Structure 1
């Protein structure tokens, strides 16, 4: 009894957990889960430049605006590219791969020969005006070297890099070279703890491990220098901020997570302590970055990437972070923005204390020494003869050693994420400040995904609007790095296969005034004739742009509307197609100026993403139909159809049997018809053609029934010696049927009498689609097979014959004739569904104009027919129908 209750309780708990886990990715705030307005596939990229070589993993990028060079670190090579055009032939290369001996030693350590046992460039930065400094993993034995910028050659012998570069290519890592001092953060050796270090020049500093470990399994994603000494009235020092994710140390009553996002800082002028914290940071402090939606129970704890946006003053600095959920099987991302003043406020707040040398960290409520632990050297300390960190009192340094964690958390600027995408994993981002025509500054974000897409978004009063999503690669691959150049007006993308250079904007993609204004792109505006880049226009007085609302300014601007005509017969189904270029637009249909209600079952209309469907057309449904694209509450006409529905209409032009179904030729004249004999099929009326179709279907169905009965009889005769077993075999079935295990037989004796194994999705005049089992494998033999041993019969009774199969669907190779209403002879292969109702796509002749908001009906319908040409007229038969 006790065990039964325990099992019931356990099942209830598991059910609740499964329900929560299943619903978690779908409980999303609609105002944050933004849909990109425009989708651009890789074939539609404009102004895109590529760089590729025999190397892979182009993950390290460095841009020097003065020299107009883009330096790229890959696996086993470093490149110097022309920043204005990376595809130019002027690229310089330094080959730097690990030796065969070093690769062999790497394999002996048990490392992966396909990924780890190579020299991955992890550090590539400018050391001074004449040299670069680079470090590579070098097959799990890091090395570093200097590069002469002018000649682009290695100018020194490689030196030991174990304290500056991680061993592995995927280990979390960040590095900065500031005034020829190298600041790095990583887990350097595979047996060591994560560490933040200053390696050169002397004195070198690192974080503390005992008695309190300052970093707990930290995974670093970025770092930044903030020159807080500029304009400082207190003589404050510059600071280096590090961003990472680590194991949680806090224990609160509101939440508990195994990993949390952090920001830590050290002072640039830190020199360590004299006795206490000797060769250790005296200014190290860390606190938590919070990016969550408590009302939806979403807490984004995994920091993936960070971008530092400098302001007009150091106090205006903003930190943009890409966060993910802790569950790896849930695909979601959030973008949160933090301000430097709030980060500094957290470092001025209360400390946390580890009371029992475990993971139970609580807020410290005791006395705080003076001067305040963790602060940089300021004018007030210099007045007390404390000019350097080695002069700090031991009680202050001992407090720093035991209290590296702050209690106050850093909240986002808007107290919520800027963006939340539940179907996207963002990897990197960059931000660009652009001034709109309204004199306001807008922050434009470029975000790369793990599948090779680039999202361009603009922050409009705290709400993110995704302008477009661009597919960078035909094959999905992650965006490993992003870099932005204001001078070149380009964004550079590093990936496993190469580097891509894209313009910051592509305004000519928007071919109408409304399309340009709806985009709400700060880079773009309408000049009366085309959408142009604002930054390239000297005279901006006549430009039209509406970033805040995205709807004003185009009311008096004329635009073209596609005009089409349809002439169909009564009782035919008519599809009026309307393609919208914007993912945010919704279609609106009117008939003679009155809105069409396509949701009432008795209205005779159906509306959907493909267009408007007129079901069993009536004469009173003739009229002028207009499709509008509704976006930002503005209606823009896209296409008009002049539909004429008559009792009988003349046949449309004949269709040439070419590659395209919609390639037409002129209709034959009366004289040409009398010149020679014509095909008898062309002289038949549509109703007679329908009768022919039905007759063909009946004949083919009868043939299937006859063949099935014959096969049943032959199979039964061959297997009559095995009581209780049935086998439906082909006439050529000479291979023995493999026997099943006793367990399988026992299971299937309790099932239905017969179980068809495979049924083909088509029946081209003969019933086919049966698989055959040979040596434990199923081999397609083209006939229906019922596996032996799947049922049982009473002794002395013959099994009842199986029911005949459903009549097959005839297939036709090519259109040889058409109905007068445009219905092609390929009727069974062009069935589709809209709002749960089957209907026939019509091939209709039309005369059309081009419009930027409309795609070719013939091209689109041809593509749809090609995709759905295998659609069956009848549903797949189930077991009861076999």
Structure 2
């Protein structure tokens, strides 16, 4: 069975709950103009540059360092649009010409795209770029303190960037600087075929993965690299690489299948003595699984790894790994966030090795004897007496060379994605996570960038217990007006700011917008935003350890019945008076702040009558902004109450009092030439006001008919018929002819002969 057919069957049969998951709706959706005008969105762009891919956030200096096309930038963290410094770093002319001779576009590809940016020491940065298909690296002097206006490139310390930066600006690279050593995953040739995990800089010899061996790396796309301590002994420190690659263990007949991977190497790996000289001897890799469990074990996998964020905890040896995935399937479109623990990752690397004896054999768990020391273990005092990998026995080196793949995959926490969006017009691209202290615990807030220039703000809350988490989509923010994909994301917990980069610009946005949730306690509580709390008057930023009597916050439950019982404005409902003409249309508008709220309309004739739900039919139509009443009747007059139901809590939003005026009243006012027409009188609605209301909000497909009806009503009333007979005969004939003569003869004499006309 083909992979495409299998995915199609999964869709037809449903996922975990028996049907495809519905896309989550954000509680609040803010457009680019709203963010710019009221919520502190700042932008920065550089003329004749692009591709703000490398972001380095430096809290101590108060700067955001940026790598872009032909430029390095130093921007203020408080406001990136002000006090910027820049370094112009183009590729030499001869490199650009050589790039052009090789068939590359001299204006789009033969430039220096800065891909790597790391802090080197207290005064310098280390940056690498593509250099017009001639990778180059340099040291950048940035000063030691925020007040030092230093930002310059040292021309005497420019190095070859091979093995550090990609040649092609379209290729990805991932690296981390540990001490004075750079660990990078990158393509090391012009054609982009020789991919390697490479250690450079420092005093130790350079080491890389085995060359042209698909068991080690098979067309990888590197995503992220992190250092994670294993124990108190620095010799046990490991470097973890996250990438996706073409799977060698794929089933026959499925073609190329992409798998997400996590690879590990020991920081103190020195290579082998007789075999694997200057090659990694501790390299292992395992599959990262992010899948929705399906019926009969047929899971829906997300294998296109896009980005990884390492969230530090109190224990530096056990951070949380947040990763975002997409799918390359043409049948099922979606993105997912999965969370992994270091305990599960280490368990996979301590499990069985994957083994394949021949080209026609399936990959199975290796059942033979594993040599000592176990491949993948670091030489240290913690796990043995070996002082260096050069002291490892040959059988250990040979086993590691032929068995780099682990058999057991790394499963996500909870065995399923934390957050999933299916059948939406965007794909996740980047992620940043902030651990926030709230009144009832710690919460992880996810900021997810998409390929349409939006950022999703998601909070993870416990459902029944802290072991089972539920994602809440709080906001969807349009941070780039041109909808360009977000290619970089950084977060400052100290300044409560988010920084995003795209191919066209940089954006800065606060992590919270508490005032946007509304002016009532219930609205602030229902938002369930760990950054915000009700202080007795407004929804404001929550600060731990503050002694405010009326501060209210409950992210886990979000129950206004408990938190907002003391709010004196709880029972106050805004009121509005409406007038409608009998037979015309009236629109009852009610828009909740929350897109997740369900609107319920009730009606009562008077305040003393019981409320009953408004039933929708052909005459009463529900819209996104309210209810449209077609052909209003006298019986429609009364009190309409708009309720919003969210998270099990119902609150009234608006009370509308509708008064229906007879059609003869509106027509009489229009024909009598009432001097109060321009001002209007309560209880007497003139005909043209109903017409203006229809122009502002046309009814659904019935505009023409209603407008014709209103136009006919706006004419002066016809003269009363004579008791002796209808107009045109007997006594009514002469007055009509006299009126015609008085009306036309005088003007005709002044205008001259009347032209021939059928009218």
Under TM normalisation by the shorter chain, which class is it?
A: 0.7 to 0.9
Match of 1:43 in 2: 33
Match of 1:351 in 2: 353
Q: Is the 8 A contact 1:652 1:821 kept in 2?
A: no
Q: Report the more deviating stretch, 278-287 or 122-131.
A: 122-131
Match of 1:812 in 2: none
Give SS of 1:144's match.
strand
TM-score by length of 1: 0.71
Matched, 1:295 2:285: no
Give SS of 1:316's match.
coil
**Any stretches of 5+ residues in structure 1 without a counterpart?**
1-9, 656-666, 679-817, 845-882
Match of 1:224 in 2: 226
Match of 1:82 in 2: 76
Matched, 1:445 2:446: yes
Give SS of 1:355's match.
coil
Q: Report the more deviating stretch, 22-31 or 304-313.
A: 22-31
Residues 571 and 437 (structure 1), Cα distance of their counterparts in 2 relative to 1, 3 Å cut: same
The within-5 A match list for 1:539-554 is: 539-552=547-560, 553-554=563-564
Q: Is the 8 A contact 2:587 2:626 kept in 1?
A: yes
Match of 2:344 in 1: 342
Matched, 1:284 2:283: yes
Deviation at 1:629, TM superposition (A): 1.2
- Aligned-partner Cα distance in 2 for 1:15–1:165: 36
Give SS of 2:699's match.
strand
- Aligned-partner Cα distance in 2 for 1:123–1:671: 76
The within-5 A match list for 1:701-740 is: none
Residues 531 and 161 (structure 1), Cα distance of their counterparts in 2 relative to 1, 3 Å cut: same
Give SS of 2:218's match.
coil
Give SS of 2:414's match.
coil
**1:266-325: per-residue Cα shift (whole Å, max 9, x none)?**
111111111111101111000000001131742101101110111111343111111010
Match of 2:169 in 1: 169
The within-5 A match list for 1:191-590 is: 191-201=192-202, 202-209=204-211, 213-230=215-232, 237-251=236-250, 258-295=257-294, 297-327=299-329, 331-356=333-358, 360-379=362-381, 381-382=383-384, 384=385, 386-422=386-422, 423=424, 424-438=426-440, 440-461=441-462, 462-512=469-519, 513-535=521-543, 538-552=546-560, 553-557=563-567, 558-559=569-570, 560-590=572-602
**1:246-272: per-residue Cα shift (whole Å, max 9, x none)?**
111224699997110000011111111
Residues 48 and 565 (structure 1), Cα distance of their counterparts in 2 relative to 1, 3 Å cut: same
- Aligned-partner Cα distance in 1 for 2:455–2:707: 36
Matched, 1:608 2:634: no
Matched, 1:621 2:488: no
Deviation at 1:542, TM superposition (A): 2.3
- Aligned-partner Cα distance in 2 for 1:14–1:390: 44
- Aligned-partner Cα distance in 1 for 2:102–2:485: 28
Deviation at 1:26, TM superposition (A): 10
Deviation at 1:22, TM superposition (A): 8.7
Matched, 1:133 2:145: no
Match of 1:832 in 2: 699
Give SS of 1:456's match.
strand
> What RMSD in Å do the two structures reach over aligned CA positions?
3.5
**1:689-732: per-residue Cα shift (whole Å, max 9, x none)?**
xxxxxxxxxxxxxxxxxxxxxxxxxxxxxxxxxxxxxxxxxxxx
Residues 77 and 399 (structure 1), Cα distance of their counterparts in 2 relative to 1, 3 Å cut: same
Give SS of 1:343's match.
helix
- Aligned-partner Cα distance in 1 for 2:192–2:76: 41
Match of 2:56 in 1: 62
Match of 1:806 in 2: none
Deviation at 1:360, TM superposition (A): 4.6
**Any stretches of 5+ residues in structure 2 without a counterpart?**
144-149, 463-468, 605-609, 679-684, 711-759
- Aligned-partner Cα distance in 2 for 1:832–1:490: 44
Match of 1:871 in 2: none
Residues 502 and 293 (structure 1), Cα distance of their counterparts in 2 relative to 1, 3 Å cut: same
Residues 642 and 75 (structure 1), Cα distance of their counterparts in 2 relative to 1, 3 Å cut: same
Deviation at 1:236, TM superposition (A): 6.0
- Aligned-partner Cα distance in 1 for 2:707–2:218: 63
Q: Is the 8 A contact 1:568 1:821 kept in 2?
A: no
Q: Is the 8 A contact 1:228 1:314 kept in 2?
A: no
Select 2:90's aligned residue among 97, 103, 115: 97
Matched, 1:123 2:113: no
Give SS of 1:35's match.
coil
Residues 94 and 379 (structure 1), Cα distance of their counterparts in 2 relative to 1, 3 Å cut: same
Q: Report the more deviating stretch, 604-613 or 45-54.
A: 604-613
Deviation at 1:124, TM superposition (A): 1.0
Q: Report the more deviating stretch, 247-256 or 259-268.
A: 247-256
- Aligned-partner Cα distance in 2 for 1:236–1:617: 81
- Aligned-partner Cα distance in 2 for 1:74–1:630: 47
Match of 1:642 in 2: 657
- Aligned-partner Cα distance in 2 for 1:179–1:842: 80
**1:38-73: per-residue Cα shift (whole Å, max 9, x none)?**
000011111122222212111111112211121110
Q: Is the 8 A contact 1:575 1:614 kept in 2?
A: yes
Match of 2:727 in 1: none
Select 2:690's aligned residue among 813, 823, 838: 823
Matched, 1:111 2:141: no
